[in-house]
A = this chain, B = another copy of it.
């Protein structure tokens, strides 16, 4: 009983992104790990990232990231595909994501291209 069964997940628009919310979302080690993971594999399901917490907590963290505008979630069958909102983040806060990612894992190169 839904429109298209895949597009009722709410995301903030690019213009709605708030620095405070993004920084807060990234200030948690678990969420930072999720973001780092997402940055290396193009996109993945919630379950494909192994975290030392229960599923509910996992859902919670993905929700925080989504509501801060850091990630985009798309329903795909029974699972949910997550991807970084690189373009939107770059447009509103240039360099922020790469800088934070690099600070978190100094081994990765700052600008992939």
Contact = CB atoms under 8 A, between A and B. Distances in A.
Contacts of A19: 32, 100, 103-104
B20 A28 contact: yes
Nearest to A97: B99
Query: What is the predominant secondary structure among interface residues of chain A facing chain B?
Result: helix
Interface string A86-103: 000000111110011011
A102 B95 CA distance: 10
7 contacts: A23-B24, A23-B26, A93-B103, A95-B110, A96-B99, A96-B100, A99-B99
Interface of A: 19-21, 23-24, 26-29, 32, 92-96, 99-100, 102-104, 110
